[in-house]
Amino acid sequence: MTTTTTLSASGYATAVRAALADLDDEVRDELCEDLEAHLAEVEADTEAPLTESLGPPEAYAAELRASAGHGDAVAPTGAMMQFSARLRRLAADEGLADLRRSLARVWPVWVVLRAVALVHVATYIVGGSGLASTISVPGLVAIAAAVWVSMRIEASRRGRVRWLLRAGDVVAAWAALVLLFDIVAGVPAYGGIPADVAADDGWTLSHPDGVPVTNIHAFTADGERLDGVLLYDADGRPIEVGDAQWEAGITTIHERDALGQPILNRYPLRQQVETYSNGTDTLVPRDVPPPQVLLPLLDDPDDAAGHELPEADQLPAPDAAPRTDDLPTDAEPGPGGPITEPTRAGSLSLVGTSWNR
Amino acid sequence: MDTSQLLKGTLDMAVLAVLGDDDGYGYDIVRRLRDAGMPEVGDASVYGTLRRLYASGDLTSYVEPSEEGPNRKYYAVNDRGREHLKRAEETWRSFAETIDALLEGSTR
């Protein structure tokens, strides 16, 4: 094996070290301790390139190894060994030496990222929930511990242990991809939305128990169902229930504004479900009937009789006495229309129709 | 005769002898050996020999700053090294005498 290219002192030194790569790190470092100083002296001494005055770096390495009593180089026999020998020759290349120096600068970043990534993947193994577990206090403690342990191993001079760490780097690189994927894809799901709903169907408004809110039905205080109510939050943002596609077979038909844009915060939403038409086997879309609701009974008949939305200071009091007399009785099933069937139910009145899908 | 084969067995002794005169650093020892009449001595062989003699306890070392570049690692022979050199010298002289006698006999 002969290196014919002209090498700088650092390139020559790298090549010599590469040819001694099969030795323990400690032995190799000791052998090459004053290599750079030597090469600098030789360069200062002669005009000729190093490969001419000292011979190829591989020969230099072989001579150094033999005279120091470390035997001959382990001849690469198997395919794997030949591959690693080729890697070592590649590593001696000047460009790669530059790359190695660049990598050395970002190494501390990798040490931390490696720990974060491995802990992140480990949270799945111990039954955690990915990002949320990684950023928790135990997760951060585990990351700090992983950084410390890996630095201890890194500082170890024993070649075999460090090779183990290099293998660990491969695993960590994979773990970093998992982490990256979770950061990119997982953040929207991180915030209280049930993962099983959010993962497949995107965002949806939900109750604290995780059940999605699929529609909103508004009533006046006296039980009249309101249609075409536009809802906004404290910031004036439209309140939407999100994507209700999670409910199989239900289609939401949004009203559209003058520009043809769907009005997403107009309630109740018109929703249809496909049902079998009167004993036939033909599926026809049918409006989803409104739900049966329990309205609080109010103590002020005048407000309720006015069929107006209560003002803020006229909202029902929690201790309101039951009152059902003025409620409309013209029950007429169907969306939009008032479907009232006042029934005394304790301190509440029952309004609406029952609907069984 | 190819002197590189002879060098293999005698480089330890040569290095110890050079250092016995005065302490020196790697490349300095290479130059002193060459100046003494061993032009074919390999740089790497000398450095490797120094590492081995140091590891076996025949040499001590110390670092001194250099005006021209990196610090230089100087080597010095200790008592154990001097003992090693003495035994090697005895072996060499006895061996050389034997070879001389053989050569004289064959050419007479």
Interatomic CA distance for residues A219 and A11, integer angstroms: 82
Q: Distances in Å between the alpha carbon of A181 and those of A3, A21, A201?
A: 44, 36, 18
CB pairs under 8 A between A and B: 74
Average pLDDT rounded to a whole number, residues A332-356: 46
- Cβ–Cβ of B27/A61 closer than 8 Å? no
Query: Does B13 score more than 60 pLDDT?
Result: yes
Per-residue pLDDT of A103-123, as tens digits, reads 777 888 888 888 888 888 888
Asked if A15 reaches chain B (Cβ–Cβ under 8 Å), the answer is no
State residue A337's pLDDT score.
44
Name the least confident of A106-120, A175-189, A227-241, A336-350: A336-350
Band (A298; pLDDT cuts 50, 70, 90): confident
∠ Cα A97 A90 A20 (to 5°): 85
The 10s digit of each residue's pLDDT in A37-72 is 889 888 888 888 888 889 999 999 999 999 998 876
B-interface mutation test, from A28, A31, A34, most B Cβ less than 10 A away: A34
Nearest Cα neighbor of A297 from A219, A215, A217, A226 is: A219
What pLDDT shows up at residue A156?
67
Taking the model in full, what pTM does it have? 0.41
pLDDT of residue A250: 72
Query: What number is the average pLDDT over the span A276-304?
Result: 72
| Contacting residues of B for A34, CB less than 8 Å apart | 25-26, 47, 70, 72-73
In chain B, which ranges are E strands?
24-25, 59-64, 72-77
- DSSP H/E element including A250: strand A250-253
How far is it, in rounded angstroms, from Cα A203 to Cα A318?
A: 33
The beta-carbon neighbor of B48 closest among A36, A44, A64 is A64
pLDDT at residue B8 is higher than 60 = yes
Q: Which residues contact A115 (CB under 8 A, 6 or more apart)?
A: A143, A144, A146, A147, A150
pLDDT of B81 reads 95
Q: Which of residues 60-119 of A touch B (CB under 8 A)?
A: 60-61, 63-69
Pairing of strands A348-351, A266-267: unpaired
CA distances from B91 to B41, B46, B49, B81, B87 (A): 21, 21, 19, 15, 6
Give the Cβ contact number of residue A248 at 10 Å. Answer: 6
Q: What is the pLDDT of residue A160?
A: 67
Residue B43 is which amino acid?
D
**Cβ atoms of residues A32 and A38 within 8 Å:** no
Q: What is the pLDDT of residue A49?
A: 87
Highest mean pLDDT out of A91-100, A148-157, A175-184, A290-299:
A175-184
- B41 or A191, higher pLDDT: B41
Find all residues with CB under 8 Å of A137, minimum gap 6, and list them.
none
Query: Whole-number mean pLDDT of chain A?
Result: 73
Under the banding of pLDDT at 50, 70 and 90, the label for residue A301 is low
The full length of chain A comes to 357
ipTM score: 0.86
